[in-house]
Amino acid sequence: MAQNKREIEDLIFGVRAVIEAVKAKKTINKIMIQRGMDKALFKELKEALANKKYTLQFVPPQKINKLTTKNHQGVVAFISPVEYQDLEKILAAVFERGDSPNILVLDRITDVRNFGAIARTAECSGVHAIVVPDRHSALITSDAIKTSSGALHKIPVCKTRDLPQTVEYLKTSGLRVVACTEKTNDFVFDVSLAGPTAIIMGSEEDGISRELLSLAHQRAKIPLLGTVGSYNVGVASGIVLYEKMRQMILE
């Protein structure tokens, strides 16, 4: 029961409620639409969503029924408790202040608590913005806010439809892109993280995608002495961001 209550805090349901949220320009993480929902209601919803950049998921009715037992009319929307920010504006502001941009790119980090913990570490270590894809990424929910100890209210999060294209943009903006992966012989402590940098951390399941790895200026790994094979991504992010901060202080 507690789980349902926590989820409902980030959820609105019903065609009219979702349309009003769209009109009010609420920050919406994603919209779930029931397959085969009433045609008239779907037409009204479709018109409201025309030319809007929302993440839509068409799902069986059972999935929506698990989220709420109330009259959802075949549509629910997950409202973000924070507004997503514009990466270009953030970079411009950082450069104007004379600072070196420090950007964290999260490739398909789907666990909400990992995401919240990473955001907390990022805020404490001077990261200017976190970049996430609009699909296959943890949503900013009340759980994520709680796990971040409120850091997600302080650190900008930028959502992108094309993560490789965004990484290319960071490169052309003068940032050095470092991918944290075990697929290298270079330890993170021997890699330069000083200056304008974008650090990429990969998914809990299969790490950083090949496309993003190919875009990185350099790869870096964390030493392992045990036999498990990898660190939790939240812990790994903490190690790498601390090393980045250490190098910044010594610069």
Confidence of residue 32 (pLDDT cuts 50, 70, 90): very high
User: Nearest CA to 144 among 125, 108, 120?
Assistant: 120
Question: How much is the pLDDT for 8?
Answer: 47
Residue 141 has pLDDT above 80, yes or no: yes
**Res. 177: pLDDT tops 90:** yes
Checking if the pLDDT of 51 tops 90, the result is: no
Instruction: Label residue 9 by pLDDT band (50, 70, 90).
Output: low
For residue 164, the one-letter residue type is P
The residue from 79, 97, 130 where one domain ends is 79
Which is more confident, 158 or 140?
Answer: 158
CATH of the domain at 47: 3.30.1330.30
Please indicate whether residue 15 or residue 1 has the higher confidence score (pLDDT): 15
What is the residue type of 125? S
**CB neighbourhood size of 203 (10 A):** 18
One domain for residues 98 and 180: yes
Same domain (yes/no): 75, 123: no
pLDDT for 3: 42
Task: Give the separation between CA 217 and CA 176, rounded to whole angstroms.
Answer: 6
Looking at the structure, tell me whether residues 23 and 121 fall in a common domain.
no
Q: Looking at the structure, tell me whether residues 40 and 97 fall in a common domain.
A: no
Contacts of 20 (CB under 8 A, 6+ apart): none
Residue at which a domain ends, from 79, 96, 131: 79
Give the other-Cβ count within 10 Å of 222's Cβ: 17
| Other CB atoms within 10 Å distance of the CB of residue 182 | 14
What's the structural domain count of the chain?
2
Query: Do 74 and 115 sit in the same domain of this protein?
Result: no
Q: What is the mean pLDDT of residues 190-194?
A: 94
Burial state string for 34-60 with b = 16 or more CB within 10 A and e = fewer than 16? beebeeebbeebeebbeeeeebeeeee
Q: What pLDDT shows up at residue 55?
A: 84
Helix (H) or strand (E) holding 64: helix 61-67
> Which of 11-15, 175-179, 191-195 is predicted least confidently?
11-15
Q: What is the CATH number of the domain that holds 209?
A: 3.40.1280.10
Helix, strand and coil content of the chain, in percent to the nearest 5, comes to 40, 20, 40
Co-location of 127 and 246 in the same domain: yes
Q: Are residues 119 and 59 in the same domain?
A: no
Q: Tell which residue, 109, 163, 167, 173, has the closest CA to residue 138.
A: 109
Average pLDDT, the chain: 90
Please say if the pLDDT value at position 107 is more than 50: yes
Whether residues 134 and 222 share a domain: the answer is yes
- 60/101 same-domain check: no
**Residue showing tokens 């009715």:** 61
Same domain for 128 and 208, yes or no, is yes
Rounded CA gap, 33 and 50, in Å? 15
Mean pLDDT of 32-55: 86
Report d(CA 166, CA 91) in Å as an integer: 12
pLDDT at 200: 98
Whether residue 115 is found in the same domain as residue 184:
yes
> Which of 79, 113, 147 is the last residue before a domain boundary?
79
Banded pLDDT at 211 (limits 50, 70, 90)? very high
Is the pLDDT at 5 greater than 50? The verdict is: no
Q: Are residues 72 and 110 in the same domain?
A: no
What confidence tier does 217 reach under pLDDT thresholds 50, 70, 90? very high
Q: Kindly tell me the sign of the dihedral angle through the C-alpha atoms of 116, 120, 121, 123.
A: positive
Which domain does 64 fall in, by range? 2-79
Q: How far apart are CA 163 and CA 104, in angstroms?
A: 12
The pLDDT of residue 213 is 96
